[in-house]
Amino acid sequence: MHSRIYLIGFMGSGKTTHGKKIARMMGYDFLDMDEWISEKEGKTIPEIFAEEGESRFRELETAAIKATNQLQQVVIATGGGLPCHGNNMQMLKASGLTIYLKLTPEALLSRLKESKTKRPLLEGKSEEEMFATIREMLTAREPWYNQADMTIDGLGRVNERVVNAIQRQK
């Protein structure tokens, strides 16, 4: 069984929520990369974006991947943009099993509208603007997400399907 499982996918696809449950079901630890970065920097993600810029945040994400290489038996929720910058996707695939939680732009919009997490890339947008941004960004990012070792439908009984798929891989 793979020792490191990376959940990837767009903002709002449920990587953190499902990741915690999947980790519990497998007896693995859980790590949220945004949270790890935020704790290490002593700043929230919106503060890092506002004070240091997106490119600095992307550097911190790459450093976070390197740090996860040392971990064993862990499910890791990545930030939505993480696989789509530099060699990050290759690094994830070299380190463990990558799983894309896939949702339509419509499903992502309905989840993101309700979400309490502050996301600098969607801040201050109307619903229409948010939908347009989701569609554009998803189209741009899917070539990376599609490189995942497996793709799982992000609606319905996601956790069971992910755990079954991981166990089938061995």
Instruction: Return the structure tokens found at 106.
Output: 């419509």
Of 4, 31, 60, 79, the residue at the interface with ligand S3P (CB under 6 A) is: 79
Per CB under 6 A, the segment of 17-25, 74-82, 101-109, 158-166 that binds ligand S3P is 74-82
Per CB under 6 A, the segment of 63-71, 76-84, 103-111, 125-133 that binds ligand S3P is 76-84
**Shortest distance (Å) from residue 11 CB to ligand S3P:** 4
- Please, which residue, 45 or 65, has the CB nearer to ligand S3P? 45
**Shortest distance (Å) from residue 170 CB to ligand S3P:** 28
Instruction: Return the structure tokens found at 156.
Output: 């319905």
**Shortest distance (Å) from residue 76 CB to ligand S3P:** 12
Q: Which of 141, 147, 25, 7 is nearest to 77 (CA)?
A: 7
Q: Is 48 near ligand S3P (CB under 6 A)? A: no
Q: What is the SS3 assignment for 81?
A: coil
CA-CA distance, 164 to 46, in Å (whole number)? 35
Residue 147, phi then psi, degrees to nearest 5: -85, 0
CA-CA distance, 137 to 81, in Å (whole number)? 9
